[in-house]
Structure 1
Amino acid sequence: MKILTASGERPDYSKEKVAGSLRRSGAKEHVIQDILKTLEKDLYEGMSTKQIYKLAYKLLKSQDGLTASRYKLKKAIFELGPTGFPFERFIGAVLEHSGYKVEIGKVVQGACVPHEIDVIAVKDEKKLFIECKFHGEQGRNCNVKIPLYIHARFQDIRNHRSQKGENVQVYNEGWVVTNTRFTKDALQYSHCVGLQLLSWDYPKYQGLKDRIDHLGLYPITVSSLLSGREKQFLLSRDVVLCMELLDNQFLLDQLEISPGRKKKILKEMEELCNSGMAYHEK
């Protein structure tokens, strides 16, 4: 049976891939098998991967809400839009909890022109200059034009620092981070010029998803209890992470959420924050 991917391709349906994605979210094996059996009854020729995912999420949510939240992580990252700024904040938070000192949206002087850098992260002798490329929908991968452009900006910054006598080999490192994927040409060019890349599943075992799961740094958009309007309200108040909502519980009062529902939401936030390392160590 052929299905339709976000990029327009039509591969055969693979229950192994569906099972793998459920397994990576921490779903138990008997739950996975139940979902696969139900899915097979509802599949039809040309069904989109988005529809398959939506149905799998619904089935998983009915059995295990916490695992369902982890399962929708990729979609939750897309929901950080549309401006892309929450994604920059999110990437900054991931690095901050990895021991970096972070600045968002700082203007840095280059040899030719100044550049506004999405995220600057400093740790020990290393300074990362990071450009975030956020896409609001699947299927829009970063092609070679993106690292070409970012590398030119990075080189201008390095040239300025070299003129000042700084050790640019140790001190500066250019990164491109995206919530989707990089094309083959983008990967090849970046590897050639020494530009670092971070995407949903790249580098292998160190991609965005792996880092989020490892640290338990889930965005509030993974919540299965908050409405879309409530999520946007919190994002507009610079609350991007589940743990940040735990530190700013008064915002739920501003949303006039009832005490009973507030308790459930905060419990969900706590479980998500605590589940990252526990799941990673399984």
Structure 2
Amino acid sequence: MEEKQITIKKSSGNLEPFSSRKLKDSLRNCDVSSDEIDSIISQVIPQLYDGISSKEVHNKVFPLLKKYDRISASKYLLKKGIFELGPTGFPFERLIAALLMEKGYHATVSVVLNGKCVTHEIDVLAEKDRNTYAIECKFHSHPKDVSNVQVPLYINSRFLDVQQQWNFDPKKTTHLKQGWLVTNTRFTIDAVNYGKCIGLTLMSWNYPKNNGMKANIDAYGLYPITVLTTLTKKEKNQLIAKNIILVKELVKEPYHLNEMEISPGKINKILLEAGQLCRTKL
């Protein structure tokens, strides 16, 4: 099919040419079969127009994908699903802590530590191989929001204050080695360059390349409950209020659904989708 020469308005406000290859790659990353990808592309392209937003494209693709494969549709919702973990940053912190634990760290959320000068609340404190890491989670509710260089500057100053106190405390049994900064959107180039220069580990939606948030969530199957297509927004919020953040947590504690106004038939559909998603890794 001949490519339509149109521009897409990204969430950042920037315009870029529409690329069916990028859309195909996005669907392929969600484990969609080649035949299904071709069918979806052939149905979506005629609906596109010059200046259409990336959100509108997503909204046209999703119902078609959901019709073919509900599990792939759940994965396609991942970026949006993370935004829906807000408005507070705590569920996002829980997600990052869970990811670190999958990587072999012992992780604790919301820890207050004394610095040399003042006290600081650390979003996630992680320990592995007698080294400790202080992780700051910068959650954004909108894709337009980015973390500029001021954010790692501030995070690094807090880390250094805590590090001076921690590593000179004879009661500590680990070395406070490094600060990390994690965001669900993206960093500016200056923020990335500053992080590299001072040794601050950065992670965003797709940074570092092939090792960003999306890649790790897919690799470990750590999907938030907000990607489940069988749940309404109200039901997702109710589960988050019960501190059920991850799909795998819902699979382990399905009784939470019985406490909500959900029919037995729908509960079965929710748990079927959740179970399949937990078993599927890219």
Name the TM tier (shorter chain). Answer: over 0.9
Matched to 1:16, the amino acid is R
- Name the SS for the 1:82 alignment partner: coil
1:273 CA displacement: 0.6
In the alignment, structure 1 residue 48 sits paired with structure 2 residue 53: yes
Choose from 55, 60, 64 the match for 1:59: 64
Query: Structure 2 matches for 1:213-224, cutoff 5 A?
Result: 213-224=218-229
- Name the SS for the 1:224 alignment partner: coil
Kept in 1: contact 2:132–2:178 (CA 8 A): yes
- Larger helix percent: 1
Corresponding residue number in structure 2 for 1:125 = 130
TM-score after normalising by structure 2:
0.95
Kept in 2: contact 1:109–1:160 (CA 8 A): yes
Choose from 138, 147, 154 the match for 1:149: 154
When residues 157 and 180 of structure 1 are mapped into structure 2, their CA distance, relative to the original with a 3 A threshold, is same
Kept in 1: contact 2:167–2:175 (CA 8 A): no
When residues 17 and 168 of structure 1 are mapped into structure 2, their CA distance, relative to the original with a 3 A threshold, is farther
Distance 2:171 2:53 in 1: 52
Matched to 1:7, the amino acid is S
TM-score after normalising by structure 1:
0.95
**Alignment RMSD:** 1.6
- Name the SS for the 2:112 alignment partner: strand
Kept in 2: contact 1:162–1:168 (CA 8 A): no
Corresponding residue number in structure 2 for 1:199 = 204
1:71 CA displacement: 1.1
When residues 16 and 169 of structure 1 are mapped into structure 2, their CA distance, relative to the original with a 3 A threshold, is farther
Kept in 2: contact 1:161–1:168 (CA 8 A): no
Unaligned runs of 5+ in 2: 1-5
Unaligned runs of 5+ in 1: none
Kept in 1: contact 2:130–2:174 (CA 8 A): no
Distance 2:31 2:72 in 1: 6
Distance 1:166 1:26 in 2: 49
Matched to 1:273, the amino acid is C
Query: Structure 2 matches for 1:22-171, cutoff 5 A?
Result: 22-164=27-169, 171=176
Kept in 2: contact 1:158–1:168 (CA 8 A): no
Choose from 162, 171, 179 the match for 1:174: 179
1:27 CA displacement: 0.6
1:268 CA displacement: 0.8
- Name the SS for the 1:151 alignment partner: helix
Distance 1:244 1:218 in 2: 10
Distance 2:214 2:207 in 1: 9
- Name the SS for the 2:17 alignment partner: coil
Corresponding residue number in structure 2 for 1:189 = 194
Kept in 2: contact 1:246–1:266 (CA 8 A): yes
Aligned residues: 277
1:163 CA displacement: 3.2
Distance 1:162 1:35 in 2: 56
Kept in 2: contact 1:35–1:59 (CA 8 A): yes
Q: Which deviations, in whole Å up to 9, do the C-alpha atoms of 1:104-138 show, x marking residues without a partner?
A: 11101100000000001111222110000001111
- Name the SS for the 2:109 alignment partner: strand
Matched to 2:195, the amino acid is S
1:172 CA displacement: 2.0
